[in-house]
Amino acid sequence: MRSTKLRLMNLGCDSRSIYVQTHQRNSSKFTFLRTQHSKMSTSTSSSAALPSPPFIQVEGLPNLRDLGGYPVPGSKNSIRRGVIYRAGAPSSKIDEDGWTTIKSLGITHVYDLRSNPEIEKAEAAGRGGVVEFEGSKRVFAPVFTDVDYSPQNLMVRFKNYQSGSPEGFTAAYEDILKNAPQSYTQILRHIAQWPTSPLLLHCTAGKDRTGVLCALILSLCGVDDETVAREYSLTEVGLAHWREEVVAGLMASHTIPSDRTGALNMLSARAENMMATLAMIRERYGGAEGYIREHCELSDDEIGQIKSSLVVTEAPVHQL
């Protein structure tokens, strides 16, 4: 099998070589070389340091990373940095240092893709339901409505995840795509209309609803499937310190079986799952651009504006 190494390089930060990823057709493996804190990465003693870029470490805001810096094949271009950030749900555990780091990002809008029941459960669990960012506008943009998050629908959705197979994730992600147009359209139009206005996307884990949208954006801008899948799989790293808490919560839920393996599969972000999803998007929708044009109803001008805004003539941070 062909293998490819992906080396993350830091431009303008204190970190040097972060890690090497060896990717084969059906597997993806990360090996850490060394990690130092970048100037933008605020670390706390409660979790191990994350590689930066792309991660920005903030206690209480898991899986936070910049979607920019990836190469656009066949050119000297890359995806603009400092415009789109992705993460899991912010919690009340964000401390003063964390808020200082968040403020430095200049985020103007926070798009919350969760449903009302998820927000209520987070509040009941003491994590804070809605956490406001000073100087940022929170936009409630749920992918699933309250009806879609009934226990019966949760069981069907979680059953797709528990096997951990690409087929299960592809089915679940197609369900997301069917329900997401109203949610995703708001965010895509933000990028088209305010290209230099940084935004944060998050759901609960920052993995599925957020991950599918980020994959659409990168694919629209010409990033190749393998790189999109590798970016998606970084969530395995980004949620590592948060995983046990989430698994415990899933196992305690009355809507899923108390199966640790199944719960871990729900939190997996394997590259092959996204590769299969991208193939499905091409087959069902004609690719990312076809989905965005037909289902999110963006015009050719808006799609062109997204591309021209996000694709820049800068050396990639993440170099193949």
In a domain, 157, yes or no: yes
CATH of the domain at 79: 3.90.190.10
Q: Are the C-beta atoms of 310 and 261 separated by less than 8 Å?
A: no
Position 33 in a domain: no
- Asked if pLDDT for residue 127 goes beyond 70, the answer is yes
* pLDDT tens-digit readout, 14-53: 332 333 333 333 333 333 322 333 333 333 334 456 788 8
Instruction: With a cut of 90, say whether residue 275 has pLDDT above it.
Output: yes
Residue 39 burial class via C-beta count within 10 angstroms: exposed 0-12, middle 13-18, buried 19 and up: exposed
Q: Which of the two residues, 217 and 128, has the higher pLDDT score? A: 217
Looking at every residue in the chain, the average pLDDT score rounds to 81
253 lies in a domain? yes
Residue 141 domain-assigned (yes or no): yes
In a domain, 21, yes or no: no
* 106 lies in some domain: yes
Is 155 part of a structural domain of the chain?
A: yes
Number of domains the chain is built from: 1
| Domain assignment of residue 22, yes or no | no
pTM as predicted: 0.82
Q: Does a cis peptide bond (omega within 30 degrees of 0) precede residue 316?
A: no
- For 199, the domain range is 44-319
Tell me the pLDDT band of 108, cut-offs 50, 70 and 90. Answer: very high
